Structure formats: C-alpha cells, structure tokens
Amino acid sequence: MSSSRNTNRLAKKIRNQTSLTLSTASRLARQANVYLGSSVTDATDPHQRRLEAHLAHVLASGFKDRQLNGALLGVREAKPDAQGLHLTLESEMADEFLRELLPRFDHFYGGVRGVPGLRVRGSNERVVLHDALSAAQVTVTRTDHSRMRLPSARDGEVLLWQRAPGGLSREEGQEAEEWVDSGGSADLRVRDLLLSRILRCPGVVNRTAEPHGFANCYTHHSGDLVIEWCCGDTMETLCANLLAHGIADGLPRRQAIELLSRHSAHLGDRTVILNRHNSCLCGRGAAEIAEYIRKGYES
Ligand SMILES: [Zn+2]
C-alpha cells in the first residue's frame, strides 16, 4: 500500500467484512504489499463460478508441488471476458494443465480424473474449455502464444472428452454429482465463489510459489483447497493482499477469515486453507527440484 490513507481504508474494509478486530485488521492492512487495481470481478453466472471453482480444485490436486516458474495453478494471468474467463498459461505447464483438466477414465486409478463434462473447442493457439451441460467456459492461451497440445491417452486411460462430445458419459455423471453434493461439508456458494476467485487472482496467489518456482497445493475433499509454502510473502501478507482484492466480498462475516496463528489461516470456514512454514523447506535444492519437475513434464 502506498499511503497510510490506503492502509486505513483497507483496514476498515477488512474490519467490516470479517470478524477481526480493528487492531488485527490494521496489522494485516499494513502488510499488504501488492494491489493490482480493483477487486476481483466475479462471474455473474453461477455455472461459470462453479466451473472455475472445479478447475481450480482439480488443478490444485493435480499439480500439488509440481509447478514451474512460480505459477501455482499453471496460470499467469486471468481476465474476465464476455464469454467467461480468459487464462494465460505458463508455457512450460500448459500441456500438463490440459492433461489434468480434460476428463478421462483411468483404469489404474479406478475412476474419472479431471473435470467431468469438460469439453474442447478451438485449436492451435487458443483452446476453449467448455462445460457440456451449461454455457460456462474458459479460454486458454500460452504466454509464448505457441500452439496448445491436447493430451493423448496414456496406458489404461479412456479419453472421455473425446468419446462423448455432446454430453456426459455415464462415468462422468456420478463424478459431476459429487461436485454439486458435498454431503453438507461445505457451503457450495461460498466454495464456488472463493475457489473461482483464487483462479482469478494469479498475481496474488503466485507470490507464494515465486521464491522457489513452486509451492504446494492440495485438497482433502470437494469443499477445500490448501496452499502451503515457505519463503516469500508471510501468511498475513497473503491474506491482506487477497482481502484487498475482494476475496471476502459478499461472504458471511463470521466465515470470511479465521487467523489460527501467524502462519495459518482459513478463508470461508476452511474452504481455502493457508499454511506457511516457519523455515525454508528447499534451501539450495530448489533449482534441482525445478529441473526434476521440468523433466517430468517433458517425458
Ligand atoms: Zn523456502
């Protein structure tokens, strides 16, 4: 934040949107260090928000700590467009991004991987990932503007996105139902809103992966997304940056944010879980780890 006036304004916004006291809100606001302009723009269509949330969820559990060049979910830039959302992908992760998302039946895993009902339009440099059952869609391009490569089937895989172009395959149906029925463990409106905002805020969340080129993300169930990292922004700085970009806009106040410690926080009642380690986990090994990840994607 450039001036104390902005800091005060952010502190008041945080106090009004959360159950934090003004002194805690002020402490957070003083730590905000990146402001990219106005608040994140939400998709107006709930199907669009749900699809984006599902993308973020699958990407988090797919990439885990295998990112390159600090792109936490493989995304460098997110811009809302008239049809939905345009994502610019980290070039070195773009092929893997499509592989993680496009649904396939994996006989070794014994189920569907990817986002059920996700289908492909377009080709070459610009791929449109759209939902078979609604108008929701996300357009993806690469930072280097080169050609996108659609995944081919690996051993034991059936590419469901190719087999059933017009609707859901039987295998995808059950998987899709689980995504809209979390068994009461999560507020679906809050989940969709928060996870789609995470996808729409790459400039903020990528700062967790920046120092080493990767961080760690994963999920426990269909209602949460965990981000864990060591160096770079502190947990309170990340929270302050996210709150400055409207991560808590429209959430129930009591659920908005819970600070468990200086290193751990929950957003939206454990929907987004943020953990920062006290000390560095990779030390000087980071470059070697990144090379290992890169080789894995090339094979
Ligand atoms: Zn570190």
At 141-193, the pLDDT tens digits run 999 999 999 999 999 999 999 987 778 988 899 889 889 886 665 689 999 99
Residues listed for the chain? 299
Residue 195 placed within a domain:
no
Residue 1 placed within a domain:
no
| Ligand 1 centroid, distance to 248 Cα (angstroms) | 28
Please check the confidence at residue 131 and state whether its pLDDT lies above 50. yes
Per residue in 219-266, pLDDT tens? 999 999 999 999 989 999 999 999 999 999 999 999 999 999 999 999
Residue 281 placed within a domain:
no
| Ligand 1 centroid, distance to 202 Cα (angstroms) | 20
Main-chain dihedrals φ then ψ at residue 5, nearest 5 degrees: -65, -45
Residue 275 placed within a domain:
no
| Ligand 1 centroid, distance to 126 Cα (angstroms) | 35
Residue 63 placed within a domain:
no
| Ligand 1 centroid, distance to 212 Cα (angstroms) | 7
Q: State the residue range of the domain holding 161.
A: 74-180
- In whole numbers, what is the pLDDT of the chain averaged over residues? 93
Residue 274 placed within a domain:
no
Residue 188 placed within a domain:
no
What is the model's pLDDT at position 55?
98
DSSP 249-269: TTS-HHHHEEEEETTEEEETT
| Ligand 1 centroid, distance to 230 Cα (angstroms) | 4
What is the model's pLDDT at position 1?
46
Residue 167 placed within a domain:
yes
197: which residues sit within 8 A by CB, 6+ positions away?
40, 42, 245, 246, 247
Q: Among 101-110, 185-194, 207-216, which is the least confidently predicted range?
A: 185-194
Q: How many domains does the chain divide into?
A: 1
| Ligand 1 centroid, distance to 285 Cα (angstroms) | 10
Main-chain dihedrals φ then ψ at residue 76, nearest 5 degrees: -100, -35
